[in-house]
Amino acid sequence: MTKTAYEILDFNFSFAHLQHTTANPIPSHLVKSIDSRLNRIKNISEKIGISQYTLSNGNLIPQVFSKTKNILKTDISLLDGLESRELRTLAYSLTYSEPNNPSIFSLLNELELILLALKLRWKNSFLLGLIDCYLKNWESKHKASVEKLADIIYDKLKHFEGERTVLKSLKTNIKYFDYKKGNLELGYALVLNDVSIKKAAEYISLPNNWFSYSYFSLVIVAYYEKRKKDIPQFIDEVEIALKAHNNFVTNQRIVSRLILQANTNEYAGIQEKVKSIAFNFIGDPEKASVKWNPYDELSEKEKKDLENSKAILNQWIIRRFISVFFEKCINDYDRKMFWLKVAPKITSFKIIGPRYIKDSLMRDERISEFVNDSRFSSTQYGHVSALLMVVKDYILIEFSESGHAFYAYKLSNANAPQLNIRYSTVNELRDGEMPMLIYADGREYSEGRLTHRDIGYRTWQRIFADWLRDNVGINV
């Protein structure tokens, strides 16, 4: 038997193996090793970079603060005796305070003396401590103190002629530190240069962890306003930025803007996303949460927008609950459509019914995250559910069983059902002795019952609408 050339030369060669090797010339374990080393280098680089912005001897702050406060109370000429190390520490200590000993930053006369002492013995190493304080307290109620910091920082950066890379970079970005509009300018610049909002701090040569400072609140707002027409494309980016920024004032500013925008037909498609963001960053509008109370830093318009956005968010939730209630508990399309027209006038509501109904609603992804004790109260007996709706001076009640009449009570009525009371059965919401709201002979009452039946030439929807107009004062 004749041997092949491969057998004679004892040459084992796999063309398939060669193809695979060519496609992946570097072994995967080597790639992982290289990536690991690169990450270590990156981490070291970041730590070194951040260290330039921090005070290495932070433990000195209480000592320097106490010493300086004593000097300010006794003999200010002793400020001249502070060492350079203490002055640098002082630049990072302006907002430090102790019980019964307020911060230097909060007392303008003390701040002016300290800034003068820093100027007289100026070193460029003081700048970063002052900038740190400045950006942290951008929206502080001590506006005069912020402006004093702005003046010295702007002056020292403008005249900086040294070689320190960090300060040279900050000088290049000096316009973004202007107290009147610097942060707004930064927000616009990020959009114009196609830079992600989460890289705002890095863009002006600051550490990423400074992104949480109050300075960046209006940077995020400016960025949003400049790109708001494209919100469906960058809403995830806004959510990430809010999480990283972690500031309640900014949450109120952005969430209110998002809600108002999503309440238009053009942006209705992002309502679910906005609703989720609102719950995550502010909370349930139905609950008495301080997170919905406007912060002092908000402008009057922003406070009004927050109030309106809370009402709108509540309306979105109400509409969703009405839809699900009439689909799952009653399966009556006509009644659902009628009450959806009333929904904009409903200020609060509650579903009362058996536990299994609550479980069913919690499985419906449209409202699952909103089903809680403030919106659903479980009964002990019966299988009927009720939807209680507060509209102006009335509480209006629809039941899940078609044989149950609609009820209308004035809130001033001592026997009117209440949203904050637990009922053992929905029958406690009914009063069979109440009159019919409208009779065939034309008699009409301000409180009572009403069946979902047509009367004469008028449909039940028309009858309900006329009664709501005449008594509650709303048009449907």
Global pTM? 0.80
Residue pair 378/353 in contact by the 8 Å Cβ criterion: yes
Structure tokens at 391: 């509209």
Q: What is the pLDDT of residue 253?
A: 97
Position 47 scores a pLDDT of 44
- Please tell me the predicted confidence (pLDDT) of residue 46: 43
pLDDT recorded at residue 202: 93
DSSP 8-class letter at 330: I
| Kind and range of the H or E run holding 314 | helix 300-324
Contacts made by residues 279-288, CB under 8 angstroms, sequence distance 24+: 279/369, 281/242, 281/251, 281/254, 281/255, 282/251, 282/252, 282/255, 284/370, 284/372, 284/374, 285/310, 285/311, 285/313, 285/314, 285/317, 286/314, 286/317, 286/348, 286/374, 286/375, 287/374
Q: Which residues of 288-301 are buried (b: 16+ CB within 10 A; e: fewer)?
A: eeeebebbebbeee
Residue 215's nearest CA partner among 105, 299, 136, 106 is 136
Residues 6 or more apart whose Cβ sits within 8 Å of residue 15: none
Q: For residue 448, what pLDDT is reported?
A: 94
Q: Which two tokens stand for residue 354?
A: 């058996």
In whole angstroms, give the CA distance from residue 211 to residue 201. Answer: 6
Residues of the chain with pLDDT under 70: 1-58, 288-289
Q: What is the pLDDT of residue 388?
A: 95
Domain locations in the chain? 5-48, 348-472
Q: In angstroms, rounded to a whole number, what is the distance separating the alpha carbons of residues 104 and 69? A: 8
